[in-house]
A and B are shown apart, each in its own frame.
Chain A
Amino acid sequence: MRVFFRELKSGFKSFSIWTLSIAFFVAIVMLMFPEMSGNMNALDESFANMGGFTDAFGLDVLKMTTAMGFYGIESGNIVGIGTAMYAALLGINSLAKEEGKHTAEFLISHPIKRSKIVTEKLSAVFFQIILMNLVIIGVAILSFQIIGEEIQMDQFLKLHLATFFMNIQLAAISFMISAFLKGGGAGIGLGLALSMYFLGIIANITDMAKDLKYITPFKYAEAAQIFSENKLLWDLIGIGMTVSIICILIAYWKFTRKDIAI
Chain B
Amino acid sequence: MKKIIETFELTKYYGKHLGIKDINLSVHEGEIFGFIGSNGAGKSTTIRTLLGLINASSGKAEIFDKEISKNKEYILSHIGYMPSESNFYGDMRVGEVIKYSSQLRKLNCDEEAKKLVDRFELDAKKKISELSLGNRKKVNIVCAMQHKPKLYIFDEPTSGLDPLMQREFWDLVKERNKEGATVFLSSHILSEVQHYCHRAAIISNGSLVMTSAISEIIKSMAKRIVITGISSDFYVEGIKNLKVNGDVASFLYSGDINMILRELSKTEVKDLIITEPDLDEIFMYYYERSETR
Contacts and interface: CB of A to CB of B under 8 A. Distances in A.
A10 B83 CA distance: 23
Q: Which of A111, A259, A260 has the most CB of B within 10 A?
A: A111
A111 B77 contact: yes
A42 interface: no
Interface string B110-131: 0000000000000000000000
B81 interface: yes
B48 A262 contact: yes
A260 B79 CA distance: 18
Contact of B89 (A10, A109, A110): A10
Contact of B91 (A3, A10, A104, A257): A10
From DSSP, what is the main secondary structure of chain B's interface residues? Answer: mixed
Interface in B86-110: 87-91, 100-101, 103-105
B184 to A, nearest CB: 14
Nearest to B155: A105
Contact of B90 (A2, A101, A105, A262): A101
Interface string B205-233: 00000000000000000000000000000
Nearest to A116: B73
Contact of A2 (B44, B75, B100): B100
B19 to A, nearest CB: 10
Given A2-B104, A103-B88, A103-B89, A109 B53 contact: yes
Q: Which of B85, B100, B104 has the most CB of A within 10 A?
A: B104
Interface string A1-37: 0110010001000000000000000000000000000
B77 A2 contact: no
Given A102-B87, A103-B88, A105-B87, A111 B105 contact: yes
Given A6-B100, A259-B55, 5 more contacts: A109-B79, A109-B81, A110-B101, A111-B105, A260-B48
Contacts of B44: 262
B8 interface: no
Nearest to A260: B53
Contact of B83 (A2, A101, A112, A262): A262
B105 A110 contact: yes
17 contacts: A2-B103, A3-B104, A101-B90, A103-B87, A105-B85, A106-B101, A108-B53, A109-B51, A110-B101, A111-B74, A111-B76, A112-B104, A113-B72, A259-B14, A260-B53, A262-B44, A262-B85
B85 A102 contact: yes
B203 to A, nearest CB: 18
B215 to A, nearest CB: 32
Contacts of B236: none
Contacts of A102: 85, 87
B55 A106 contact: no
B54 interface: yes
Contact of B88 (A2, A106, A111): A106
A106 B105 CA distance: 12
Contacts of A104: 53
A109 B103 contact: no
A103 B74 CA distance: 21
Interface of B: 14, 44, 48, 51-55, 72-77, 79, 81, 83, 85, 87-91, 100-101, 103-105, 143
A111 B83 contact: no
A102 B140 CA distance: 14
B55 A110 contact: no
Given A6-B100, A109-B76, A259 B105 contact: no
Contacts of A10: 89, 91
B161 to A, nearest CB: 18
Interface in A205-262: 257, 259-260, 262
B139 to A, nearest CB: 10
Given A105-B83, A111-B74, A111-B77, A259 B53 contact: yes
A85 B90 CA distance: 25
B261 to A, nearest CB: 53
A109 B76 CA distance: 7
Given A111-B74, A112-B73, A262-B48, A101 B53 contact: no
Nearest to A114: B72
A225 to B, nearest CB: 42
Nearest to B106: A111
A3 B85 CA distance: 22
Contacts of B87: 101-103, 105-106
Interface in A108-154: 108-113
A111 B73 contact: yes
A260 B104 contact: no
Nearest to B140: A106
A168 to B, nearest CB: 27
